[in-house]
Structure 1
Amino acid sequence: MSAVLPSAAGADAGYPDKPIRLVVPFAPGGGADYSARRFAQPLSEALKQPIIIDNVPGAGGSMGANKVAKAAPDGYTLLYTTPGQQMTAPYLIENLPYDAFKDLRPVSQLTAGTNVLVVNKDFPARSVRELIDHVKKNPGTVNFASSGIGSTSHLAGELFKKMAGVDIVHVPYRGSAIAAADVIGGRVEMSIDTLSVYLPHIQSGAVRALGVSTLEPNPIIPDVPPIAKTLDGFEASPVNYISAPGGTPEPIIKKLSEAIIAVAEDPALRANFASTGSRLAGSTPAEMEALVRSEQKRWKEVIDSAGIAVTNAK
């Protein structure tokens, strides 16, 4: 045993000494893929090794997550993680092929996104309070669009519904772009989805922004108040982070986290992400672990309260 330990320690100390594979659990061209590629280049420079993007779409991101969960815990296969793979998957996907509590180890936060509550331009409400009052007077007549069952936009809508005590009807779509088209067209009255999806339509006047899901205003649309100004404590901001297979050695986790934190402080990169409504936010493994556990508990309560049906992993 004494002969093995120095060898293992030496392997960790020399990490990384070959390319790192970053699994993005969605198809190329989407928001997660775009963000992962933007961050991968400077992270590659910091670690002095190439980072290869590996798109593994399917089952709401659980196919890609499973690939990482089953990979060797050596730091050379990582997951670009969105809320759906670890924070909500245990409560939405039956027969999940990995243990979301044990098989993925949070390394560091990358971004904190902003969702925005929008309504069609012809909808009468001009504030979150007016929207709530309108729905209470007309229960069951207002629909909210999401990018799919169990998506962050769906859960944000259910959280709004629960906290406001209103009866709004969920209309799921196969993606944010299709959902946005129907909000713009007036076929659905409202949505809570990522700012990057709706920003051009807010700027063109096709939709009206009533509130942001963060606790502070977003600098891109500074005049749009937080939903929390009306619904105290409301927060539904998508968090993206890096995770590694469970059992990855602590020195490797620490080195990755420190590199991510350093890269996230780069002013030019921060400005780049801010232009699409996201805030770079590196974190320690302990901080990210605590956030994941907190979000798992919070979203389980929302999912249970809304009675969202679980689906089978495919």
Structure 2
Amino acid sequence: MRIIVPFAPGGTADTIARLIADPTAAILGQPVLIENRPGGNGTVAAISVARGPADGLTLLYCSPSIQILNPLMMRSIPYDAMADFTPVIALMRAPKILVVRPDFPARDVAALIALARTRPGGISFASAGVGSSGHLAGALFGQMAGVELLHVPYRGTAPGVQDLMAGRVDMVLDTAAALLPLVQDGRLRALAVSTQEPSPLAPGLPPIALTLPGFDDASFNYLVAAARTPPEAIAAINAAIGRVLAEPTLRARFEALGAEPLGGTPEQLAAMVQSEIARWRGVITAQGITLE
């Protein structure tokens, strides 16, 4: 069995795929290999699975881009985001935290929104680029708060965070794993977590939803197979990986990466994907966010 990962080796998605590979192989009684196919915002990997055999031996590791965001932001994609794939299992979600520079005048989300209302376009937020999860999270925040924020895209999370610490931008909404170490050593100040409920991965932080009811955003990753894969193969893989995700040792490894393991049925995953499409369609359309 192969898990096709649409990112280069070494990132969080690649690490999580490798964490589940060996214990899944032990349960299924067959090797599970990781194959990295980065490129095209996930389209290279997606095509390889969509056009491959529907035998249950090739899985696609999905970030939100492949089925949820690419169809909303790209003029055309070389696969059918829904019809070409069948859901297998949700793997994890990664909460974000809202951080500001230490000297920023607002001390909580309500004060941040109040300040932004007095400075239309005067409060800036950095992201890892146009269409990135941080860009969309910031756009969702501004839309729900009814404020105009200035988006400043960078080539990756790190340079944006560097400019935040240098005082060149005002805020960032990105994964807790990337930002909490900088909060803990005093280089950034955290205001809130992006999930509806408090997260153990960001202890002590209130949810943004306490100020903006309904705000909920956490990048989630999952597995799909090619359409027409036999249901019995999907069920067997789902059961095996579900057992792996429930292991306390693996849960601890996930949490060290800033991720919460998920699991569940293929039907639950399909509902999650549809919910995410509905959430981001309004944001992307209203903001006119496109990718070439």
Q: TM-score, normalised by structure 1?
A: 0.90
Which residue of 1 is the match for residue 270 of structure 2?
289
Which residue of 2 is the match for residue 241 of structure 1?
222
CA distance in 2, matches of 1:174, 1:27: 16
**Cα separation, partners in 2 of 1:49 and 1:178, compared to 1, 3 Å:** farther
8 Å Cα contact 1:23/1:56 also seen in 2: yes
Q: Which runs of 5+ in 1 are unaligned?
A: 1-19
1:59 is the counterpart of 2:40: yes
CA distance in 2, matches of 1:237, 1:65: 22
Describe the superposition over 1:10-62 as per-residue Cα deviations: whole angstroms up to 9, x where unpaired.
xxxxxxxxxx1111101111221122222222222222222111111112222
1:145 is the counterpart of 2:126: yes
CA distance in 1, matches of 2:247, 2:35: 25
CA distance in 2, matches of 1:179, 1:35: 25
Tell which deviates more after alignment, 215-224 or 142-151: 215-224
Q: Which structure has the larger Rg over C-alpha atoms? A: 1
Please tell me the residue identity of whatever aligns with 2:227: G
Match of 1:122 among 93, 100, 103: 103
8 Å Cα contact 1:195/1:276 also seen in 2: no
1:211 is the counterpart of 2:192: yes
Match of 2:171 among 182, 190, 203: 190
The root-mean-square deviation of aligned C-alpha atoms, in Å, is 1.2
8 Å Cα contact 2:12/2:257 also seen in 1: no
**Cα separation, partners in 2 of 1:207 and 1:290, compared to 1, 3 Å:** same
Tell which deviates more after alignment, 41-50 or 149-158: 41-50
8 Å Cα contact 1:87/1:296 also seen in 2: yes
Could you list the structure 1 runs, at least 4 aligned residues long, displaced by more than 2 angstroms after superposition.
none
Which residue of 2 is the match for residue 109 of structure 1?
90
**Cα separation, partners in 2 of 1:227 and 1:244, compared to 1, 3 Å:** same
Which residue of 2 is the match for residue 48 of structure 1?
29
1:274 is the counterpart of 2:255: yes
CA distance in 2, matches of 1:251, 1:51: 18
Describe the superposition over 1:66-101 as per-residue Cα deviations: whole angstroms up to 9, x where unpaired.
211111111111111111111111111222010001
CA drift of 1:136 comes to: 0.8
8 Å Cα contact 1:218/1:277 also seen in 2: no
Please tell me the residue identity of whatever aligns with 1:262: R
CA distance in 1, matches of 2:10, 2:206: 30
Which residue of 2 is the match for residue 76 of structure 1?
57
CA drift of 1:221 comes to: 2.7
CA distance in 2, matches of 1:154, 1:66: 26
CA drift of 1:110 comes to: 0.5
SS at structure 2 position matched to 1:169: strand
CA distance in 2, matches of 1:246, 1:61: 18
Describe the superposition over 1:257-292 as per-residue Cα deviations: whole angstroms up to 9, x where unpaired.
111111111011111212332111101011101111
1:100 is the counterpart of 2:81: yes
8 Å Cα contact 1:75/1:253 also seen in 2: yes
SS at structure 2 position matched to 1:114: strand
CA distance in 1, matches of 2:27, 2:164: 42
CA distance in 2, matches of 1:280, 1:186: 35
Describe the superposition over 1:160-182 as per-residue Cα deviations: whole angstroms up to 9, x where unpaired.
01000111011112222222222
CA distance in 1, matches of 2:52, 2:264: 23
CA distance in 2, matches of 1:286, 1:308: 29
CA distance in 2, matches of 1:259, 1:251: 12
Which residue of 1 is the match for residue 232 of structure 2?
251
Which residue of 2 is the match for residue 13 of structure 1?
none
8 Å Cα contact 2:90/2:221 also seen in 1: yes
Matched positions, count: 292
1:91 is the counterpart of 2:91: no
**Cα separation, partners in 2 of 1:81 and 1:171, compared to 1, 3 Å:** same
